[in-house]
Structure 1
């Protein structure tokens, strides 16, 4: 079976060039052209490797990466015109496995792709069979499905942003733990916390508006004044 590669690149000429070259090398390549298409592709099929541009429409590369890493460990190779060390570090800290800067040699790109796939194959060679396990959390009337990034309440879909979902999943998967704002910020934003309470307050407020019966009297996300937040008891 051919190695399955997902290419998320909004420049059609670059996408066609990379995809055609990799196909000649024996890979099966699926092309998407914005972050939302990429997320849909990852959710619908298992890939051996993702090639990810950072500057994407609709959902940028870093947001795509954070979202994917909530539930998926597929290797990710960033391909980007950004040549700043900070961007490289941020991409790697968000869960990317390697980084190559445009313009790049197709020979070098292919070598890196093959090396990453070899490493992945080597480390997983002892696994005889991988069973698909649906990771679903049920909290009160909420059902949180980590595999397809969906949340329902009484069988009604609730549309959450990536950060709202990550905050909810963080609390729901640690029902007895109290999270300070610093803990939440570092876990969800993957950045150092500099007392940026407004960002967290806005996300918590919006999340409560979507999942609580009465956001003024929340049952799912409890505030511990002066400390932080925790999941309500059900």
Structure 2
């Protein structure tokens, strides 16, 4: 295994507890109690994943998430002590892949880590991909290729996280059909969809931003109110 995971949380008991559980499962852990030290680690260390607390004494986890996404696409899990959806939507919108609300069971953290890393490995290891009838879609200048895991818009590269790529690919696979948020979530995340889950909405918003979609009349990903999303 030996994947390297960054943990950033100013609550030492929580950071130490997560570290123990992850190390017991064979992961290499880089643990910090403040954001500035974590940023130095991000610049100098090869990482496979980051677990970031939202509230830190110096800079918040959102800022660290944004800095990671400037150069890296490995999974990011946000930890939040708040129950409001605003933190969750904010984290997902700026590039986080998942979030966990405190207090939590450390076994849940380990399970989420394994899920995200499996998806990341599949995304980056093209040789493990099974042959598909269609490996590329070209929709009005938006090209997405499953074999190379590249996406371009009018010949310009669009940098997508593994989750964003999976969301866009699933919509392209179902081109012309309306896909419900429930179906999209369960196929991409592989988990049971719960009511009031804003994860899909946040990732759709992030995709539209990267595709420079106009807010009122998007060219590619359209919302069918009360039903779901479609690429026509």
For Structure 1 versus Structure 2, the TM-score category normalised by the shorter chain is: 0.5 to 0.7
SS at match of 2:29: strand
Equivalence for 2:228: none
Distance 1:34 1:127 in 2: 38
Distance 1:105 1:13 in 2: 13
Distance 2:82 2:51 in 1: 15
SS at match of 1:112: helix
SS at match of 1:41: helix
8 Å Cα contact 2:21-2:107 kept in structure 1: no
Deviation (angstroms), 1:87: 1.0
Q: Does 1:51 align with 2:48?
A: no
- Deviations along 1:129-166, one digit per CA (max 9) or x if unpaired, are xxxxxxxxxxxxxxxxxxxxxxxxxxxxxxxxxxxxxx
Equivalence for 1:31: 31
SS at match of 1:89: helix
Equivalence for 1:15: 15
Distance 1:82 1:52 in 2: 14
Distance 2:127 2:71 in 1: 19
Distance 1:6 1:127 in 2: 27
TM-score after normalising by structure 2: 0.53
- Deviations along 1:18-48, one digit per CA (max 9) or x if unpaired, are 1011111111111011111111111101111
TM-score after normalising by structure 1: 0.53
Equivalence for 2:66: 66
Deviation (angstroms), 1:70: 1.6
- Deviations along 1:179-205, one digit per CA (max 9) or x if unpaired, are xxxxxxx89xxxx9xxxxxxxxxxxxx
Distance 1:107 1:23 in 2: 12
Deviation (angstroms), 1:58: 1.4
Larger gyration radius, structure 1 or structure 2: 1
The correspondence of residues 155-194 of structure 1 with structure 2, limited to 5 A, is: none
Segments of 4+ in structure 1 off by > 4 A? none
Q: Which runs of 5+ in 2 are unaligned?
A: 129-208, 216-232
Q: Which runs of 5+ in 1 are unaligned?
A: 129-185, 193-234
Distance 1:127 1:77 in 2: 26
- Deviations along 1:86-143, one digit per CA (max 9) or x if unpaired, are 1100110011000000111111111100000000001111279xxxxxxxxxxxxxxx
Distance 1:110 1:72 in 2: 22
